[in-house]
Structure 1
Amino acid sequence: MNSKQSSRRLFLKSAALAGLAVGAEASASAQGVTDASAPGAQPGTHAHGQPARLATPAGRAVTKTITHTTYYTPLADSVGIITPASLHFMQSHSRLPDIDPEKYSFIIHGLVERPLAFNMDDLKRLPSVSKIAFLECLGNTGPRRHSSEGKNATPVTVQYTHGIMSCNEWGGVPLSVLLKEVGVKKEASWVVAEGGDGSKYSYCVPLTKAMDDCMVAYLQNGEPLRQEQGFPARLFVPGFGANHSVKWLRRLMITDEPYMTWDQSVHHAASRVDLGNKSRWFNFVWPPKSVITRPSAGLKLNAPGYYEITGLAWSGWGKVRKVDVSVDGGKSWKEAKLQDPILPMAHTRFNFDWTWNGEETVIMSRCTDDQGEVQPTLAELNRNWGRGEKDRLEPISNTHYWNAIQPWKIAKDGSITDVLFA
């Protein structure tokens, strides 16, 4: 029996013995036992589907600026891989449109044989698919997510550093079905998607990807999309940065070249030292990532002993092959256990048994996907982008597709902090 299994079994055994002791004491004074339940609502009066009255559901943190409103998924309180629709992150670049599904439609035009408009009835009569997949904002986990400075500072927790991502079961019509309906011309190579919000948010997707696994989604975890998630219909592009999955879909224009939309070519372009300080446009796929969600910054270990380290791993390129965990600041690594299901372009839950000795340490995780791509350290990421290993990208830097390994420091008092830039 290895030390991890032994520690875990001793912990569970001691917990069971403690429970027996409590039970014996309760039996000895049965007349003093109180019933924790109280008269509640009569059967049928509790609102169906609502949380239990005394339950404490997880909540989304929120930040607001002049141009953006962001709600963060509470990752530390999440179990499994599916994010409840009510806890899905939200990034809004303008006011949310209030669209009547009975009057809604979007058009597909441009380099097509038959420009067509599709309403909700059209979508629901066509062949449908469902897919469990993550959705992650381009700026998630970037350098500015690791700073709590400023007038409206947000505490640095895993919800703030990594919470602009979620994983849902999306349902809708394969985009390839709709494109075949309109007849895409041979010279076409790109799809320009435009949203129905106030800013007419627009992004380009290669036609090869559109014909592969994209969909026009109208379902989220088996229910209609939430308003902030694009109700009544949105484009969904698995594995790509979430900005490609345009919400409140208004039109799809088929073209023979990418359009230089402001959102894609200006707002989400960042200069790269390795490119001679030029900006690289049209980044697409999220590289492999992982993060320990518990224990993580903002939480506290009450005493030395057994703790399960758990977290999420994902890759826009495919499936997670393995996750390694270090409990000594990266000096050594051991493979974590992956929970089923292990799906392409979806969150994968990992677990690792650990006994904390009460000393200061740093814990972190590292993802390897089925393409052999490995999540880099901060130093490796700097080298990849043409910077010195010890260069510090300022927290205000607008860096996208950031996938550096996330270290959490555990102090002797059990407090946990983010030390990525320490």
Structure 2
Amino acid sequence: MSRRRFLKQASAVAGGAAAAALASTKSAAQELAAEPWEKIYGAAFTAYGERSRFEQPVIRHIFTPYGGIAPGSGAALSPIEALEGTLTPSGLHNIRNHSGTPEIDPARHQLVVHGLVERPLKFSIDALSAYPMVSRIHFLECSGNSSRAVTPKPAQVPAGAMHGNIACSEWTGIPVRVLLEEAGVKPEAKWILAEGADSAHMSRSVPMEKILDDAMIALYQNGERLRPEQGYPVRLLLPGWEGNMNVKWLRRLKATATPTYTKDETSKYTDLLPDGRAMQFTFEMGVKSVITKPSSTMTLPRQGLYEISGLAWSGAGRIRRVEVSTDGGATWRDAALTGDERPKAFVRFRLPWEWKGGEAVLASRATDERGRVQPTRAEWTSQYAPANTYHYNAIVTWAVGTDGKVTHVFA
């Protein structure tokens, strides 16, 4: 949203006086004095850029359910409440590991393509790096993201500690179909088993349709080689599908006639239903949004004009609409969407709002290009058994008290 558009909307919301307060006055500009740093020569170049010393460190929320017994099993959640824009810095990207991050020597690592193929192939990282590449921007979301919202009482933690098992990056690599065409996939091959080189040998079965559509062998993230925690030296990327299927430290792709039903897709990542059955293979992530500013554990310091801002995404494609409510869903207003509205990627939404000191309940509701609308909490919970915590995409609500404190509430 441009500054002019924001001020125009702000004027409509809060009146011209409040909007004008955002701008510098002519007299203030005339009084601008030279600061000490304007009078001395600046610092020399550095080999790798760092944040300003005046900025507080922005770090991930670490979740290790087994503590010191298995410190590498758990998750590191992106601090979405502290970030702006739609791209996540590589060092703040979410992580979900089952057995820690392996230290892999790229000179020794190989990717094997085998199974129901005419020509089994083995690729070194150098060989993969010689292929023509493509770059795409996509989100990665753990299927267990927002599981802390599936609790009897609202958790009072920052937005990222609850909804931050997701991030959005630019990924660069090779379309998987290129390697499969080279190997010659047999007609009876309908699935691909993807397996990682971590000590847990994380593995998932992927339908061939997805593999031949937009699956990628990713070697780079945000312009740099993958970081170890993101699958260095090579990972599978399945845009819009649940995070665990985007197998890191990829070591083999096996073409099969049926799903392999590995431990990672039978012991976990299934949705429990009210009738006692379990629904398997929920691959695509649902339409979802969350307000990141203001959000849980924050405090509004004073009455006045604020910008409600957040993120929206859908595993089905593009976000077409985000509505924002400040009265718990009684009324809704369309927010402005910023960015290129790419498919299966973050979209930032923004809406000016005047807080007059009273109680408010903030919520956002996203609609994707298929027409799917983000469900209410009641609608989502009615579909699953109480113990189910996967694929939660219900509307998130934050309450603003008269003291300006923002808390998580169910509405």
Flag whether TM exceeds 0.5 (same fold).
yes
Does the aligned pair in 2 maintain the 1:265–1:282 contact within 8 Å? Answer: no
C-alpha change, 1:2 and 1:230, in structure 2 (3 Å) is closer
2-side partners of 1:287 and 1:166: how far apart? 15
Question: 8 Å contact 2:290–2:396 — kept in the other structure?
Answer: yes
Provide the rounded CA distance (Å) in 2 between the counterparts of 1:53 and 1:305: 30
User: What's the offset of the Cα at 1:305?
Assistant: 1.0
Matches within 5 A, 1:225-240: 225-240=226-241
Partner residue in 2 for 1:192: 193
User: How do residues 388-407 of structure 1 correspond to structure 2 at under 5 angstroms?
Assistant: 393=386, 397-407=387-397
The CA distance in 2 between the partners of 1:306 and 1:62, in whole Å, is 33
Give the 3-state SS of the residue equivalent to 1:247 in structure 2: coil
Aligned to 1:390: none
- 1:50 Cα shift? 2.1
Q: How does 1:407-422 map to 2 (within 5 A)?
A: 407-420=397-410
Q: Alpha-carbon deviation of 1:92?
A: 1.2
Deviation, 1:55, is 3.0
Residues 20-72 of structure 1: per-residue CA shift (max 9 Å, x gap): 56566x57xx7xx862679787523x443222333334211212122523211
The Cα shift of 1:201 comes to 0.5
Spell out, residue by residue over 1:315-367, the C-alpha distance to the aligned partner (whole angstroms, 9 max, x if none): 00010010011010000111111112101000111111111111111000000
Determine if contact 2:11/2:19 at 8 Å carries over to the other structure: no
407 and 121 in structure 1: CA distance in 2 versus 1, 3 angstrom threshold: same
Residue in 2 that maps onto 1:136: 141
After superposition, the Cα gap between the structure-2 partners of 1:147 and 1:95, relative to the gap in structure 1 and judged at 3 Å, is: farther
Specify the alignment match of 1:295 in structure 2: 294
Once residues 221 and 276 of structure 2 are traced to their aligned partners in structure 1, the CA distance between those partners, rounded to angstroms, is: 40
Q: Partner residue of 1:116?
A: 121
| 1:175-190 alignment, distance < 5 Å | 175-190=176-191
> 1:377 offset after TM fit, Å?
0.2
Identity %: 40
Distance 1:184 1:4 in 2: 61
In structure 2, relative to structure 1, the CA distance for the partners of 1:35 and 1:3 (3 Å cut) is closer
Structure 1, unaligned stretches of length 5 or more?
388-392
From the superposition, tell whether residues 2 and 53 of structure 1 become closer, same or farther in structure 2 (CA, over 3 Å). Answer: closer
Which of 89, 106, 117 is the equivalent residue of 1:84? 89
CA RMSD of aligned residues (A): 2.3
* Pair 1:217-2:207 in alignment: no
What residue is the counterpart of 1:376 in the other structure?
375
Give yes or no for contact 1:148–1:156 (8 Å, CA) kept in 2. Answer: no
**Alpha-carbon shift at residue 79 of structure 1 (Å):** 1.1
Partner in structure 1 of residue 317 of structure 2: 318
Amino acid at match of 2:161: Y
| 3-state secondary structure, aligned to 1:277 | coil
Partner of 2:3: none
For the residue of structure 2 that corresponds to 1:417, the secondary structure is strand
For 2:332, the equivalent position in structure 1 comes to 333
- 1:308 and 1:229 map into 2 onto residues whose CA distance is 33
Task: Say whether the 8 Å CA contact 2:297–2:407 is kept in structure 1.
Answer: yes
SS of structure 2 residue aligned to 1:95? coil
After TM superposition, the score normalised by the length of structure 1 is: 0.89
Cα separation, 2, equivalents of 1:408 and 1:6:
20
What secondary structure, in the 3-state scheme, does the structure 2 residue paired with 1:96 have? coil
Aligned residue number for residue 279 of structure 2: 280
Q: CA deviation at 1:232?
A: 0.3
Aligned equivalents of 2:344 and 2:218: distance in 1?
16
Amino acid across the alignment from 1:196: A
| Residues 140, 240 of structure 2: 8 Å contact kept | yes
Deviation at 1:147, TM superposition (A): 7.9
76-85 or 228-237, larger mean C-alpha shift: 76-85
Q: In the TM superposition, what whole-angstrom CA distance separates every residue of 1:249-296 from its partner, at most 9, and x where no partner exists?
A: 0111110100111111112223211xx211111110001000001000
Note the residue ranges of structure 2 that are not aligned, 5 or more in a row: 1-7
Query: Does the C-alpha gap of structure 1 residues 47 and 259 become closer, same or farther in structure 2, counting only changes over 3 Å?
Result: same
Compute the displacement of 1:229 (Å): 0.2
What secondary structure does 2:106 align onto?
coil
Q: 1:121: how far off?
A: 1.7
Contact kept in structure 1, 2:13 and 2:352, CA below 8 Å? no
Paired position in structure 1 for 2:5: none
> What SS does structure 2 have at the residue aligned with 1:404?
coil
| Structure 2 length-normalised TM | 0.91
| Aligned positions, number | 399
- The structure-2 alpha-carbon separation of the partners of 1:34 and 1:285, relative to structure 1 and needing over 3 Å to count, comes to closer
Tell which deviates more after alignment, 124-133 or 216-225.
Answer: 124-133
Partners of 2:43 and 2:382 in 1: CA distance: 64
Partner of 2:323: helix, strand, or coil? strand
Is it true that 1:97 corresponds to 2:116 in the alignment? no
**SS of structure 1 residue aligned to 2:364:** strand
Q: Amino acid of the residue matched to residue 80 of structure 1?
A: G
> Are positions 1:249 and 2:247 aligned together?
no
Is contact 2:13-2:353 (8 Å) kept? no
In 2, the alpha carbon distance for the partners of 1:242 and 1:15 equals 41
1:417 counterpart letter in structure 2: T
Q: Which residue identity lines up with residue 14 of structure 2 in the other structure?
A: S
Residue 216 of structure 1: how far off its partner (Å)? 0.6
Q: What secondary structure does 1:170 align onto?
A: strand
> What residue number does 1:5 align with?
12
The aligned residue for residue 4 of structure 2 is: none
What is the CA–CA distance in structure 2 between the aligned matches of 1:164 and 1:291, rounded to whole Å?
13
Could you tell me which residue of structure 2 aligns to residue 354 of structure 1? Answer: 353
State the one-letter code of the partner of 2:326. V
For 1:121, give the aligned amino acid.
Answer: D
Equivalent-residue separation in structure 2 for 1:219 and 1:163 (angstroms): 22
